């Protein structure tokens, strides 16, 4: 067994679970769920396909991770395999440009203009060229420029969008800074975006998302790829609301699936393509024969097997049923992995943090409307709940066995190993929640005349580590007067945005997909894509406006401290711990290089190979 350790550089965000005992070499000639041989049984000189099978905790459910509900690691890791962007991150979290997709450059600094030019090698898996129509659609999706004002929700918390309304997604911080219609070259080989102001994270602001011609086909506009691209561009140029409503609906919902996606739904432009998907069990990807890019894989097939249970994943690794995994581990998980022969285990700190948020607009215990609009009363109930969360006990019992140096995380936006972390914690107001304080929680509830508070609590039901956390939270909060109701559900990911009427507080993690200083904007700004809870603070919004254009690191920190002071004052939620990272793989697999942010263990898949 080989054991390596690594530490995460700057980043932020998602994950959690338990284990089994075993101590043997992975068994050759085992099969994947589809009946194909695993990597370990492949003879590299035999001409047989090279297959790597990965264990993962949550099934993919959307090929469009730019939507409000599709923004999840479960989707991002598969999209990383089937799509190529203008840039990606190297092993040191530096931005690496992929010029086989195209190039981009600043062509004007005042105003800021960024031009993207597509390479001839950029093609979708069906052979259709990638061009300006595709990036135009992505920009429209994240900018909010074409959205109608849609705010009404049904009883389940879903936005009510009429057939003739246009709504793509809540705008991202960077997307909203491009309001002017872009310049498109006649051959659609280039597209230029003009920003309303300087934006420090411009280089990693826009991605390709889903194919314009596939979106148009799903929308019912036709079957011809070229004609569909023309139709998409024309609809945006003419602001054709009827056609845009069709396109927006297809973009927002048409790429969601739980099994067997159509070719259009799963269409990518990257090294792999989806060929098989069995609901909640596994997804199979094979080489994309139309891929001409720079990241050509050495592996022929990747199979991702799904299970929330890390114990089952460890057993699968031992049996040779999977080749690698990045479980939401417990101490038992790590111990059992380290006992396996022929397995490389890598531990460190993940770019993911566990946290609790509370819904403030669902008529529940944390909503001012419940108290006749008394915002201060609702705020004190939130403060009391946060003071009842046993953060220290969670870290001591569940995280320190994996990372003996683990402590509670006390910042919403900075990692514990960020050089500015200690300064942040000294000033951000987190000291008010540094320790669990049942007596103070009781005093706050008594002060506002509230007792026996019911709190419906959402978390991943099958996630063992989160289930353990829930028990600790439920027992601790009960002492303060909170009846924490078990709302565990394996569909928690989609429920966060679509079912806020069914829960009052949640437990999950945020995982970064970038190193952008403005990344937290989408979590806390009014109406932002990851702010599911009705939280709104004008001071926070204004601070994020300032952060978008601030290039001085010292001033960036001042702004971030200001944001966190407001979040803690408002009792928005609470951070708990930084994830301990555990990655393990069959030592016959070479070229594995996990990183701390998404896509973690899938990073650099084009370097994976099987040792002779």
pLDDT tens profile 359-370? 999 999 999 999
Intervals of the chain under pLDDT 50:
1-44
b vs e for 144-173, b when ≥16 Cβ sit within 10 Å of the residue's Cβ? bbbbeeeeeeeeebebebeeebbbbbbbbb
Going from the C-alpha of 449 to that of each of 381, 385, 425, 457, the distances in angstroms are 10, 15, 32, 22
Q: Dmax of the chain from CA atoms?
A: 75
Supply 492's token pair.
């928690």
Supply 570's token pair.
């408002």
Q: Where are the domains of the chain?
A: 2-64+74-79+261-350+580-610, 83-253, 351-579
What whole-number distance in Å separates Cα of residue 207 and Cα of residue 269?
Answer: 12
Neighbours of 612 (CB within 10 A): 8
Contact (CB, 8 A) for 12 and 412: no
pTM of this prediction exceeds 0.85:
no
Using only C-alpha atoms, what is the Rg of the chain?
A: 24
pLDDT tens per residue across span 145-178: 999 998 787 766 567 888 899 999 988 888 999 9
User: What are phi and psi for residue 94, nearest 5 degrees?
Assistant: -90, 150
Peptide bond into 167 cis (omega under 30): no
User: Could you confirm whether domain 83-253 is CATH 3.20.20.70?
Assistant: no
Neighbours of 392 (CB within 10 A): 14
User: What is the structure's pLDDT at 157?
Assistant: 59
What whole-number distance in Å separates Cα of residue 80 and Cα of residue 87?
Answer: 11
What whole-number distance in Å separates Cα of residue 90 and Cα of residue 539?
Answer: 36
What whole-number distance in Å separates Cα of residue 144 and Cα of residue 159?
Answer: 15
Domain 2-64+74-79+261-350+580-610 belongs to what topology?
D-Maltodextrin-Binding Protein; domain 2 (3.40.190)
User: Containing H/E element for 469?
Assistant: helix 464-480
Supply 432's token pair.
């008010």
Beta strands at 505-511 and 589-590: parallel, antiparallel or unpaired: unpaired
Q: 232: burial class by Cβ within 10 Å (0-12, 13-18, 19+)?
A: buried
What whole-number distance in Å separates Cα of residue 160 and Cα of residue 163?
Answer: 10
CATH number for 351-579 (one of 1.20.140.10, 1.10.3720.10, 3.40.1350.10, 3.10.105.10): it is: 3.10.105.10
Neighbours of 555 (CB within 10 A): 12
Cα 502 versus chain centre, distance: 22
User: What is the structure's pLDDT at 229?
Assistant: 98
What whole-number distance in Å separates Cα of residue 564 and Cα of residue 427?
Answer: 9
What whole-number distance in Å separates Cα of residue 231 and Cα of residue 222?
Answer: 9
Supply 231's token pair.
């139709």
User: What is the structure's pLDDT at 3?
Assistant: 38
What whole-number distance in Å separates Cα of residue 456 and Cα of residue 471?
Answer: 13
Task: Please choose, from the candidates 20, 18, 72, the residue with its C-alpha nearest in 3D space to the C-alpha of residue 328.
Answer: 18
Q: Give the angle 115-118-119 at the CA atoms, nearest 5°.
A: 140
What whole-number distance in Å separates Cα of residue 133 and Cα of residue 306?
Answer: 34
Q: 534: burial class by Cβ within 10 Å (0-12, 13-18, 19+)?
A: middle
Beta strands at 272-278 and 324-325: parallel, antiparallel or unpaired: unpaired
What whole-number distance in Å separates Cα of residue 37 and Cα of residue 26?
Answer: 13
What length is written for the chain? 612
b vs e for 82-105, b when ≥16 Cβ sit within 10 Å of the residue's Cβ? bbbbbbbbeeebeeeebebbbebe
- Torsion angle of the four alpha carbons 467, 470, 475, 481, in this order, in degrees rounded to the nearest 10: -150
Supply 405's token pair.
């140096």
What whole-number distance in Å separates Cα of residue 300 and Cα of residue 84?
Answer: 17
């Amino acid at each position: 067994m080989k054991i390596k350790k690594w530490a995460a550089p700057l980043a932020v965000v998602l994950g959690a679970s338990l284990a089994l005992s075993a101590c043997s070499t992975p068994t050759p000639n085992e099969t994947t769920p589809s009946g194909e041989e695993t990597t370990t049984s492949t003879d590299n000189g035999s001409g047989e396909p090279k297959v790597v099978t990965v264990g993962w905790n949550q099934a993919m459910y959307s090929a469009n991770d730019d939507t409000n509900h599709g923004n999840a690691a479960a989707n991002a890791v598969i999209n990383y395999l089937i799509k190529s962007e203008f840039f990606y991150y190297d092993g040191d979290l530096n931005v690496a440009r992929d010029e086989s997709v195209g190039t981009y450059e600043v062509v004007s600094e005042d105003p800021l203009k960024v031009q993207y030019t597509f390479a001839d090698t950029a093609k979708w898996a069906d052979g259709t060229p990638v061009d300006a129509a595709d990036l135009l659609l992505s920009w429209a999706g994240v900018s909010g420029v074409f959205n109608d004002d849609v705010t009404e929700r049904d009883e389940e918390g879903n936005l009510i969008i009429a057939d003739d309304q246009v709504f793509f997604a809540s705008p991202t911080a960077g997307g909203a800074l491009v309001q002017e219609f872009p310049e498109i070259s006649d051959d659609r080989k280039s597209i230029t975006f003009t920003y309303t102001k300087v934006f420090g994270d411009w280089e990693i602001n826009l991605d390709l998302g889903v194919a314009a011609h596939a979106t148009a086909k799903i929308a019912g506009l036709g079957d011809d790829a070229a004609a569909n691209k023309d139709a998409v561009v024309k609809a945006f140029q003419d602001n054709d609301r009827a056609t845009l409503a069709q396109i927006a609906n297809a973009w927002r919902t048409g790429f969601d699936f739980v099994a067997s996606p159509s070719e259009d739904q799963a269409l990518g432009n990257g090294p792999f393509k989806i060929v098989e998907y069995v609901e909640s069990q596994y997804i199979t990807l094979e080489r994309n024969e139309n891929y001409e890019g720079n990241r050509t894989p050495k592996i022929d097939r990747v199979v991702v097997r799904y299970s929330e249970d890390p114990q089952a994943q460890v057993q699968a690794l031992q049996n040779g049923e999977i080749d690698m995994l990045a479980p939401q581990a417990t101490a038992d998980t790590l111990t059992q992995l380290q006992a396996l022969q022929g397995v490389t285990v890598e531990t460190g700190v993940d770019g993911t943090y566990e946290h609790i948020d509370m819904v403030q607009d669902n008529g529940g215990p944390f909503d001012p409307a419940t108290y006749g609009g008394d915002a201060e009363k609702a705020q004190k109930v939130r403060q009391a709940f946060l003071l009842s969360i046993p953060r220290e006990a969670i870290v001591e019992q569940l995280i320190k066995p994996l990372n003996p140096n683990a402590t509670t995380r006390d910042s919403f936006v900075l990692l514990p190993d960020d050089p500015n972390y200690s300064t942040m914690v000294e000033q951000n107001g987190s000291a008010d929640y540094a320790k669990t304080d049942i007596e103070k929680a009781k005093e706050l509830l008594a002060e506002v005349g509230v007792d026996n508070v019911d709190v419906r609590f959402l978390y991943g039901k099958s996630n063992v580590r989160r289930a353990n956390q829930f028990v600790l939270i439920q027992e601790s909060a009960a002492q303060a007067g909170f009846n924490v109701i078990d709302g565990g559900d394996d569909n928690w990911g989609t429920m966060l945005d679509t079912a806020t009427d069914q829960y009052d507080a949640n437990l999950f993690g945020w995982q970064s997909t970038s190193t952008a200083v403005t990344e937290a904007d989408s979590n806390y700004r009014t109406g932002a894509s990851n702010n599911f809870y009705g939280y709104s603070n004008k001071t926070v919004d204004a601070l994020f406006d300032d952060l978008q254009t601030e290039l001085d690191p010292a001033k960036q920190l001042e702004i971030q401290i200001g944001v966190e002071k407001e979040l803690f004052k408002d009792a928005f939620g609470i951070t708990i711990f930084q994830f301990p990272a555990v990655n393990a793989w069959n030592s016959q697999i070479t070229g594995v290089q996990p990183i701390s942010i998404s896509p973690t263990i899938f990073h650099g898949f084009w370097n994976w190979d099987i040792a002779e």
